[in-house]
Structure 1
Amino acid sequence: MCAELSLLCANLGKIKESHLVFDPCVGTASLLLACAHFGAYVGGSDIDSRAFAPRDGASLATCFEQYRLTNRFLDVMIGDISHPCFRAFPLFDAVICDPPYGVREDPRTCRRDELFLKYSESKLPSHPSLTLISNSEDPLTFRWSRRLLVMEKTSEYEENGTDLPEALSSYYNSFRLNIFSKVGAIEKEIKI
Structure 2
Amino acid sequence: MSNQYLFVFAQAHEEFRIPELQSIAELHGFEIAIPEDIDVTRPFAVLGLENEEHARILARRCILIKHIYEFYARGSSYAELHEKNRALRDRWEKYVPDTSFKFFVAGFNQSIPQRRQREVVEDFSYMDFQGKIDMKNPEIVMGCFEEYRDAKGTTREKHDGDGNFREVFFGRLVEDGSARSLVKKFDVKKRAYFGNTSMEAEISLLMANQTLASPGKLIYDPFTGTGSMAYTTAHFGSFFYGSDIDGRQMRGKEQQPGIRRAAAQYGVEKRVIDLCTFDVTHNPWRCGGFFDAIITDPPYGVRAGAKRLGRKKDWVPRTPHPVPTGPRPDDDQPYIPPMRPYELSALATDLVLLGRYLLRPGGRLVFFLPTITDEYQEIDIHTMLCDGMELVANSLQDFGAWGRRLVTIRKTGTENYPPPKFDSDSGVAPSEGEKTTHVPAHRDFRERYFQRFRSPAELAEEAAAAVSEMRLEASEPSKD
The code of the aligned residue for 2:385 comes to S
1:34 Cα deviation from its structure 2 partner: 0.8
1:167 Cα deviation from its structure 2 partner: 3.5
Q: What TM-score do the two structures reach when normalised by structure 2?
A: 0.31
Match of 2:101 in 1: none
Deviations 1:44-99 (A, max 9, x none): 10112221232466611001000011111111111222223112231111111111
Match of 1:91 in 2: 290
CA contact (8 A) 2:224 2:250 kept: no
Mapped to 2, the partners of 1:21 and 1:162 lie a distance apart of: 19
Moved beyond 6 Å, runs of 4+: none
CA contact (8 A) 1:128 1:157 kept: no
Which of 376, 393, 397 matches 1:134?
393
CA contact (8 A) 2:220 2:294 kept: yes
Mapped to 1, the partners of 2:294 and 2:267 lie a distance apart of: 23
Pick the structure with more helix per residue.
1
Is 2:279 the partner of 1:21? Answer: no
1:145 Cα deviation from its structure 2 partner: 0.8
Assess, with a 3 A threshold, how the Cα gap between structure 1 residues 119 and 163 changes in structure 2: closer, same or farther: same
Question: Computing the radius of gyration over CA atoms, which structure comes out larger, 1 or 2?
Answer: 2
Mapped to 2, the partners of 1:131 and 1:94 lie a distance apart of: 14
CA contact (8 A) 1:42 1:72 kept: yes
Pick the structure with more strand per residue.
2
Mapped to 1, the partners of 2:373 and 2:231 lie a distance apart of: 34
Assess, with a 3 A threshold, how the Cα gap between structure 1 residues 154 and 49 changes in structure 2: closer, same or farther: same
The code of the aligned residue for 1:153 comes to K
The code of the aligned residue for 1:121 comes to E
Is 2:184 the partner of 1:6? Answer: no
1:130 Cα deviation from its structure 2 partner: 1.2
Match of 2:276 in 1: 77
Q: What TM-score do the two structures reach when normalised by structure 1?
A: 0.73
Alignment of 1:87-166 (within 5 A): 87-102=286-301, 103=306, 104=343, 118-124=375-381, 125-139=384-398, 141-156=399-414, 158-159=416-417, 163-165=421-423
Alignment of 1:167-178 (within 5 A): 167=425
CA contact (8 A) 2:373 2:400 kept: no
Assess, with a 3 A threshold, how the Cα gap between structure 1 residues 92 and 159 changes in structure 2: closer, same or farther: closer
The code of the aligned residue for 2:284 comes to C
Is 2:229 the partner of 1:38? Answer: no
Mapped to 1, the partners of 2:287 and 2:421 lie a distance apart of: 14
Mapped to 2, the partners of 1:149 and 1:116 lie a distance apart of: 16
CA contact (8 A) 2:288 2:416 kept: no
Assess, with a 3 A threshold, how the Cα gap between structure 1 residues 120 and 83 changes in structure 2: closer, same or farther: farther
Larger mean Cα displacement after TM superposition, 130-139 or 159-168: 159-168
1:101 Cα deviation from its structure 2 partner: 1.6
Assess, with a 3 A threshold, how the Cα gap between structure 1 residues 134 and 47 changes in structure 2: closer, same or farther: same
Deviations 1:134-157 (A, max 9, x none): 000112x32121110001110035
Match of 2:32 in 1: none
The code of the aligned residue for 1:39 comes to G
Assess, with a 3 A threshold, how the Cα gap between structure 1 residues 155 and 62 changes in structure 2: closer, same or farther: same
Mapped to 2, the partners of 1:82 and 1:122 lie a distance apart of: 25
Unaligned ranges ≥5, structure 1: 106-114, 169-192
Match of 1:177 in 2: none
Unaligned ranges ≥5, structure 2: 1-198, 307-342, 345-371, 427-480
Mapped to 2, the partners of 1:56 and 1:161 lie a distance apart of: 36
Q: How many residues align?
A: 160
